Structure formats: structure tokens, C-alpha cells
Amino acid sequence: MKKKIVPILFVGVGILLIASSFLKAGSSKGELTLDIVKTETLMPAAHNVYSNEEALDGKYYLFKAKLTNQTNATLEDVVIRYRIPGYIDWTEVGVIGEMFSGQTASVRAYPKFNEEIAKKMTESVEKAEIEITWDGAEEDDIIEEEFSFRIADRNEFKFTNVPSAEILGWADVHNNTELLACFVTPNDPIVKYYTQNIQEKMLKGESAGVTKDPKEAVRFLTGIYEATRQSHMVYSGTKMIPENLTDISKFSQSNRLPREVITGNTGLCLELSLLYASVLSSAGIDPIIFLVPGHAYPGFKMNGQYYAIEATGIGGEGLGGIQSVEKAFETGMKSLNEFFSKQQQGDLRYTMVDVHIANQQGATPMVLKDDAFLRKKVDEMVAAWGGGVPKSSTQKGAYTPSREISSTPRRSNSLSVTIPSSWQTVRRPLANIPILTASAIAPDQTTSISVFDVPTNDVNEAMNLIRNYLYNYGQEIVYQFNGNQVSGQTYSSMGTLNWVGKTLRRSNGIRIVTVGSPDYLYAQNSNMINQLFNSIK
């Protein structure tokens, strides 16, 4: 089962969302037929997601039970319950008041594990037992079923739950990426203590999270880098980030927790990114983790702009030397420009995790307790810091944001729409769709514009041509006209996109300008969508 992401072809933007994959088992007994869709692996770090049916659209459940009443009778008060010996006692999943003959009903189980599961240091294979009863059921009628599943250790992260044989593209490979937010631990007492020391020793008591000044936020970002560099932290290598669709060995990774990276003084690129994200979040800054083929690097967003740093510049395995803080930041910003360029080209290998958005959607981190020994380790590291980050490193000219922000939108006569100056515009984004002449994307990647120029004077023919192009990419559109206005949805295996637009007569045909957002964010982005829609002329 795949998690939804936004189709890129109609509005020129791809947004990765996290997904899960499942195995099937089935049996029948007595008066009901039972089909079970089960998860393959649970990650302890994400146990708060599995327990919350509203988290990340409820995609992460232990199992789904589909019941079919194949008798000629109506069954009353059908009760489905389950347990996981050693973890969860008998728990009701649901009660179905009446099941008529031939009726099918489905229920999902969201297991509520004890917080102690966050201490699980080894993987194990566990068993779930299911029992289904109803009023008047004899002992021999009761349905009993069980299945095995795997609980990973707390450090394991699986990029995907899709079986390797079923992976069709990068959307499948990255279908769990939002769960990385569960490994970001800003409330860990050790991380908070480490953050406090950075603010006091590196930044001399200043906090970028309070001022919301991008320059000071960049200074805080570089302060984290200096803290790792001055404590002689070692970068362990680029292993375990997926680079191709066939290397299944890289579809899961054992991540040291941020507290373990701090006190162990070493980390992989993804582990360093999780550390940075934890410290930034602890300081009140919105962290971003950027994932690219074979690599990950951290950054943040503020006031509609994105910033990044090459955390691995501290040096280590296979690297020639240690980068200065200025060089590490310069490298990160260059990587960021390439990242957005690749995204605009529709390269799904380039994706990001907006940690705070994922948190709001239910991907909350595990709870970790204070540890006097680890605090002492932090004190030992802080003692090695020789000085803070000079303010000159973030003065005017020292950095260039990935996208300049201006309060005044710009009018593009050639695009027939007013585009906010913070947005990125790409001409001819997809060579295989020549009638898609331009697209523009918002800094937060959730709203975008598409411009189609179709050589016909018939609006229905124009929309049919657009539909045919998208159909070749496995997408289907439905739409309706209201004068020169058009609205609709784009459906695909990746998700649903809602959009509105206008048709404009041109000397060489018809121009169709649309603005859209994923269905689950459309209401949230309605003010911006309406503003852009009204500017189309």
C-alpha cells in the first residue's frame, strides 16, 4: 500500500510523502471469512505513529482485517480484538453492530506500545493473535487467527516497506521518509543540554530561534558545525543512502540517535542530519533534511527561504580534509540549488523531510530520559571548544539564500499570472510534454502553477490533448468548465491534486494557466490559491 504524493506533471512539483508496504495472509472459519493485511516491520522509533490512527493519514497500522459475512443470517455485535504477547494485552479493534448476509467490513489495528519500546536494542519476530466473536457464537464458531511480524531495534530506519520485488520507482523507495522525523529528538534532555551549550559557548547566549532573523539562524546553523568540528567529530562515510532501485541493501539503515552521535563523536551523513535537525528544532528553528542519491544533508527554512550546510565537511573516512565553516555553508547552499533544480526536473530521488510539518501530522519522536553519564560526556566535548562563531561569517555578502524573498510579487507578462517573487520558475520543465511551457513552485513545495500553451482554438480539444499527455504518465484528469474558468483533479498512483485555472485566447492557440495543491492541503492553501487564480489575466 503506497502513501500518497503529489503528481508533478500538472503543476510541475513533486512532493514526497511517506508510505508503507504490507503482506497478506488469509483464512476462513465458521460463519465469517477473514482476510488480513499485515505490516512487515514496526520501527520502535515510530511507535507513536503506529498507535495514532490520525497520524500521517492513518497509513501506519499493524494490520487491517476485512470480514465478509457469507452466511444467510445477520450477525449481531461482531467484536474484533487482538493481542501481542509480551507487549499488548487483549484490545478491541472494533465492534460491528450488525453484519448482514454478504456484507463486508474492515477494521484497522493501531497498537499502543509502552514507551519502554523506545529502549529496544535488538530486533525480534513477534506474534499477533486475533479473535472474532459475535452474539450467539458457539465456542467452535469463534474465529482465531495469528500472524508473525518483525519489530526492529530502536535505531533501525527503513526507507521503504515496499517489498523489493514490487518497487517500481523512487516514490516506492522513499515512501517512509517522513518517519525520519521520529528520529529527530529535540526534547531529549541530552540534546537540549547540547543545544544550550552551543547557544552559550558558540553564540555567546544568542538564540536565532527567538529573533527569527535568517542571518542569525544561519549563524546558529554554522555554530552547530563549529561545535562538531572543534570537538573533532568524525564523519563515518556515505554508506546506506539509496542510490539506485536495485541496491536493496541500502533500503534500511541503523541510525545512531542524536544523543549517540553527540557523545560518540561520530556519525554518518544521515545521522549528522538528524543531529542538526534535533538541535535546530530544540532552538525553535524549522529543520529540513535533504535526501539525494547516496547522501543526506541538513538545513532549515525561515521566512520562505531555505538554507543548508554540508555537515560532513568535518572530515573523516575517504575525505581529503576538514572544511572551514564558511566553505561547509557554501557547499551546502550549492547543493541546495542543485536540489531544487533536480526537483523541478521531476527527479524523485531528490526529496526533503520538513520535520515540523511531519510532527504536526503525527510523526512525533520517541521519549528519552536524562542520563548523567551522557551529560558528563557533553561537558568533556564542550571543554574542547576553543571559541564561538564570529558574526562576520554571516554578514551581508557572506551567504546567498536559495530564494530571495520580496514583499512585492512580480508580474510575468509571458506567463499571464502574478508569481510571488519567492517562487522558483522553470521554463519548459518536461521535454516530453512540449505544451507545458512553464511551471512555478512555492518555497514550501505545497502550491504550484503550470502554464500550458496548446496550438488549438477549441478549449475542449486543448484539455483533451493535456489529458492524453498525462495519461502516458499514468495520470488521469477530470475537469469542468465555467465560462473561461476550469477546475479539476489529477489522479494517479501517487495521489490526488486539486487545481483551478483559466483559459486564455492567444494568437497561436489557447493558454491554460492552473494553480493547484494536494487534496489534503488544498483548504490550507486556499488563500494563496485564490490570490494566484485571480491574478491570471
Which residue range(s) make up the domain with 445?
410-535
Q: How does pLDDT run across 310-346, given as a tens digit for each residue?
A: 999 988 644 557 888 999 999 999 999 999 988 888 8
Instruction: Look at residue 91 and tell me whether its pLDDT is greater than 80.
Output: yes
What Å distances lie between residue 104 and 69, 97, 130, 427, CA to CA?
6, 13, 18, 50
DSSP, collapsed to helix, strand or coil, labels residue 73 as coil
Task: Tell me, yes or no, whether 139 and 182 share the same domain.
Answer: no
Task: Tell me, yes or no, whether 35 and 148 share the same domain.
Answer: yes
Element of type H or E holding 227: helix 214-230
Task: Tell me, yes or no, whether 204 and 144 share the same domain.
Answer: no
DSSP, collapsed to helix, strand or coil, labels residue 317 as coil
Q: What's the total number of domains in the chain?
A: 3
Res 522: pLDDT: 87
Backbone angles phi, psi at 369, to 5 degrees: -95, 160
- 41-42 and 143-151: which strand pairing? parallel
Tell me, yes or no, whether 241 lies in a domain: yes
Tell me, yes or no, whether 384 lies in a domain: no
Cell of 359: 510532527
Task: Tell me, yes or no, whether 196 and 285 share the same domain.
Answer: yes
Instruction: Look at residue 30 and tell me whether its pLDDT is greater than 60.
Output: no
* Boundary residue ending a domain (153, 180, 200): 153
Task: Tell me, yes or no, whether 165 and 267 share the same domain.
Answer: yes
The arithmetic mean of pLDDT across residues 410-434, rounded, is 71
Task: Tell me, yes or no, whether 443 and 521 share the same domain.
Answer: yes
Task: Tell me, yes or no, whether 304 and 414 share the same domain.
Answer: no
List all residues 6 or more positions away from 427 whose beta carbon is below 8 Å from its beta carbon.
437, 438
435: CATH: 3.40.1000.10
Tell me, yes or no, whether 119 lies in a domain: yes
* Boundary residue ending a domain (134, 153, 172): 153
Tell me, yes or no, whether 391 lies in a domain: no
518 in Cβ contact with 4 (< 8 Å): yes
Q: How does pLDDT run across 402-415, given as a tens digit for each residue?
A: 443 333 344 444 56
List all residues 6 or more positions away from 482 whose beta carbon is below 8 Å from its beta carbon.
none
| CA count, 13 A, side-chain hemisphere, 417 | 31
Instruction: Name the nearest CA neighbour of 451 among 472, 474, 433, 468.
Output: 433
290: CATH: 3.10.620
Burial-class residue 331 by CB neighbours within 10 Å (0-12, 13-18, 19+): middle
Strand partners, 19: none
Give, to the nearest 10 degrees, the angle between helix 214-230 and helix 269-282. 130
What is the C-alpha to C-alpha distance for residues 185 and 32, in angstroms, rounded to an integer? 45
Q: Whole-number mean pLDDT of the chain? A: 81
* Boundary residue ending a domain (95, 127, 153): 153
The arithmetic mean of pLDDT across residues 257-275, rounded, is 93
Backbone angles phi, psi at 311, to 5 degrees: -65, -25
* pTM exceeds 0.85, yes or no: no
List all residues 6 or more positions away from 497 whose beta carbon is below 8 Å from its beta carbon.
6, 7, 10, 11, 489, 490, 516, 517, 518, 519
Strand partners, 24: 37
149: CATH: 2.60.40.10
Tell me, yes or no, whether 4 lies in a domain: no
Rounded percentage of the chain residues whose pLDDT exceeds 70: 81
Instruction: Name the nearest CA neighbour of 515 among 495, 527, 493, 498.
Output: 498
Backbone angles phi, psi at 214, to 5 degrees: -55, -35
Q: What's the length of the chain?
A: 537
Which of the pair, 512 or 168, is modelled with greater confidence? 512
Task: Tell me, yes or no, whether 190 and 325 share the same domain.
Answer: yes
The arithmetic mean of pLDDT across residues 375-383, rounded, is 91
The sheet with strand 509-518 has its strands ordered as 424-427, 436-441, 448-454, 509-518, 495-506, 485-492, 476-482
What Å distances lie between residue 186 and 104, 191, 277, 364, 523, CA to CA?
44, 6, 8, 10, 30
What is the C-alpha to C-alpha distance for residues 111 and 178, in angstroms, rounded to an integer? 19
Give strand ranges (E) for 321-471. 351-354, 410-412, 417-419, 424-427, 436-441, 448-454
Task: Tell me, yes or no, whether 305 and 289 share the same domain.
Answer: yes
Res 395: pLDDT: 42
